Amino acid sequence: MTGTPLSKPSSGPLLVFDGDCAFCTTSVNTLERLLPSFPPTSPWQWLELDEYGLTIDDVSQYAWVVTPTHQYAGHLALSALLRMQRGAGWRFLGHLIATPPFSWAAALGYRFIAANRHRLPGGTPACALPPSAR
């Protein structure tokens, strides 16, 4: 995993995820291996969230891609990652994920996975707890 402690927003994109969740960490590592280019990553636990315009509530519900001008959460974060790729196929898939009606299905799928990540491979019971209880 590429994550390093950060305290200031970078000039490029940053993928923010739940570092306490093994399923989330495994998912980030898998995407990093699969995609041709990948932005820096950081567990939200290593960040000063207010410097990125995020709250504990934000990061406990979604993974985020934060750029100097935009914030993308959940399925739109995946869409942003795919749209950053060099290959036209990846970019097309990223646009598709952000386009209705596909975006509606992607949002539902993301919510379902996020709500059940403690039951998925690599998930732990800690993934089911609110951040304040971890």
Q: How many CB atoms lie within 10 A of CB 104?
A: 11
Residue holding tokens 């305290």? 7
Long-range contact set of residues 30-38: C-beta below 8 Å, sequence gap at least 24? 31/81, 32/1, 32/2, 35/81, 35/82, 35/85, 35/90, 36/85, 36/86, 36/87, 36/90, 37/84, 37/85, 37/86, 38/2, 38/81
Spell out the domain ranges in the chain: 14-124
Q: Where does the pLDDT of residue 56 fall: very low under 50, low under 70, confident under 90, or very high at 90 and above? A: very high
Task: Specify the pLDDT at position 3.
Answer: 45
Average pLDDT of the segment spanning 96-119: 94
pLDDT tens figures, 2-15:
444 455 666 799 99
E strands within the chain? 14-17, 41-43, 64-66, 71-73
pLDDT tens figures, 27-48:
999 999 999 999 999 999 999 9
Task: Specify the pLDDT at position 21.
Answer: 87
- Is pLDDT above 90 for 97? yes
Q: State pTM to two decimals.
A: 0.86
Radius of gyration of the CA atoms of the chain, in A? 14
Average pLDDT of the segment spanning 112-124: 82
